[in-house]
Amino acid sequence: MTKILLIEDDSSLGATLRDRLQKEGYEVVWTRTVKASKEAVDKSEFDLYLFDVGLPDGDGFELAQALPKKPFIFLTAQGDAESRLKGYDLGAEEYIPKPFHLREVLLRIRHVLDNHMPVPGLEIGEIKVNFDSFEFYRDGAKEPIAVKDLLLLKLLVTKSPNAVTRDEALGCIRGDDKFPSNRTVDNAILRLRSALGDAGPRIESVRGVGYRWRKD
Amino acid sequence: MTKILLIEDDSSLGATLRDRLQKEGYEVVWTRTVKASKEAVDKSEFDLYLFDVGLPDGDGFELAQALPKKPFIFLTAQGDAESRLKGYDLGAEEYIPKPFHLREVLLRIRHVLDNHMPVPGLEIGEIKVNFDSFEFYRDGAKEPIAVKDLLLLKLLVTKSPNAVTRDEALGCIRGDDKFPSNRTVDNAILRLRSALGDAGPRIESVRGVGYRWRKD
DNA sequence: TCTCATCTGACAAAGCTGTGACAAACGAGA
DNA sequence: TCTCGTTTGTCACAGCTTTGTCAGATGAGA
């Protein structure tokens, strides 16, 4: 489930946002201080941060840099051009000045998530892949797989529907410094296809270019 | 080149934006009215619209719905929550309230383009081509095609309405170092025409010169 | 030394491209 | 309009390049 860290010190606004977000199906953790937010990110990983800039024990701009890199949205009373620019400079995806409609926030969140959702893992028929834990399951049974092969699979899936060139694939598997033979990539693809079983043909070769993951 | 349609009736602001955008390497067409904007999109295709909401002969919200669907950014003095929401509802990618820094606009433009450009494909009537995934669709059905043939199609379309000489075509398909027979180009054209089906005749031969893509 | 992952080379299979032959279309001159 | 030389359309197929597959070599750690 998509997990949002909501950082807002105003009780009324915070509660409203939290409730609404939960109603939309997001998992929400609500913190009110810089300190609490840092603790929260230690405990679990989030997909998106929703920030108030002005916090009792520090400001959101600094906090944004301290947290693990995830897309974040600023939510703030300081709607002037300088603040917005500062927010975007820090990498904010959106900067929503108060007052705002809840609906606007939801739209923006969906927009950001659409563009930034990390690859949460694959689930194709009897195959399950977790790119974070590097585990590969078929019919519920864990199968051994090389980490590098998994990285290649991840690259293919994230780039999909675009093709991944052989060079990219090679760079993903090896460091960019080595130049092993062409068979190296083929072998990785071969192992992946075989590991994927029925879903193997989803890795399509693009002659003269590389490979492409076909979604269904 | 990335093409931006700038719609802004304020002369001073419009000129500033246009100059700055051009300096950044974008191709800019600047219009001041709803009418002129509609004419502009008839003449050529844009990658992004940059809108003032308040225009002398209509409002940007309506115009946004009338233009061919492309990502667009609203640029407006009406920075209140209702207007923003309306803008986003219409599908605006960004809503930048005045006053703003030029740099902020540039950042947002780049942001939007980064997220929306990854399909630098062609869409010509019933034909769809994606040059990142190297896929070719006719009437929604995927058809196999050689990458080199795709490159030639791209060349033809981008050069249109100008003709592409046989030599250019050859250089596009092969490396410039080889000099195969004339039939090579013919074959590529043949395959393309056949792949294009009904749209095949859009590749016109220009006797003694080469070929030309005819837009409709 | 053993183990494991990775790389390499050999060969097979698949797919693309160039070639030549011939037909059709075109354009210039007669 | 007709003729003829040239250019382009079309086709089949041979040859070549790329990719699939595999087995054995290599090399770094345990």
Q: For each of the domains in chain B, give its residue range(s) and CATH number, in order of start.
A: 3-116 (3.40.50.2300), 145-213 (1.10.10.10)
**Side chain identity, residue B113:** L
**Side chain identity, residue A187:** N
Residues of chain B with Cβ-Cβ distance to A162 below 8 Å are: 118, 130, 132-133
The pLDDT-based confidence of B6 (bands split at 50, 70, 90) is: very high
Residues of chain A with Cβ-Cβ distance to B146 below 8 Å are: 207-208
Which among B43, B37, B102 is positioned nearest to B65, based on CA atoms?
Answer: B37
Residues of chain A with Cβ-Cβ distance to B84 below 8 Å are: 96, 100-101, 104
pLDDT at B78 over 70: no
pTM, whole model, 2 decimals? 0.59
pLDDT score recorded for residue B119:
46
What average pLDDT does this structure show over B78-104? 71
Which three-class secondary structure state does DSSP give residue A21?
helix
Instruction: Name the interface residues of A facing B (CB cutoff 8 Å).
Output: 79, 81-82, 84-85, 88-89, 93, 96-97, 99-101, 103-104, 107-108, 111, 115, 160-163, 206-209, 212
The pLDDT-based confidence of B80 (bands split at 50, 70, 90) is: low
Which three-class secondary structure state does DSSP give residue A82?
helix
pLDDT score recorded for residue A64:
83
Question: In angstroms, rounded to a whole number, what is the distance separating the alpha carbons of residues A29 and A1?
Answer: 13
Question: In angstroms, rounded to a whole number, what is the distance separating the alpha carbons of residues B183 and A152?
Answer: 40
Give yes or no for a contact between B193 and B200, defined as CB atoms under 8 angstroms apart: yes
Tens of pLDDT, residues B112-159: 776 665 446 677 778 888 888 899 988 878 888 999 999 999 889 888
Query: Strand B127-130 and strand B122-124: pairing?
Result: antiparallel
- The series of mean pLDDT values per 10 residues for chain A, 216 residues long, is 88 86 89 90 88 81 84 78 74 75 80 68 78 78 83 85 87 69 88 87 91 87
Nearest by CB to A104, from B85, B97, B146: name it.
B85
Residue of B nearest to A164 (CA): B133
Instruction: Find the range with the poorest average confidence among A56-65, A205-214, B43-52, B80-89.
Output: B80-89
Distance between first and last Cα of chain A: 21
- DSSP characters over B85-115: HHHHHTT-SEEEESS--HHHHHHHHHHHHHH
Question: In angstroms, rounded to a whole number, what is the distance separating the alpha carbons of residues B112 and B28?
Answer: 16
Instruction: Find the range with the poorest average confidence among A26-30, A107-111, B163-167, B183-187.
Output: A107-111
CB contact under 8 A, B134 and A212: yes
Distance between first and last Cα of chain B: 21
What average pLDDT does this structure show over B95-112? 79
Q: Is the dihedral of CA A125, A129, A130, A136 positive or negative?
A: positive
pLDDT at B186 over 90: yes
The pLDDT-based confidence of B187 (bands split at 50, 70, 90) is: very high
Question: In angstroms, rounded to a whole number, what is the distance separating the alpha carbons of residues A174 and A183?
Answer: 13
A175 beta carbon < 7 A from strand D? no
The gap between A81 CA and C1 C1' (Å) is 69
* Cross-strand partners of B75: B52, B96
pLDDT score recorded for residue B192:
93
pLDDT score recorded for residue A31:
93
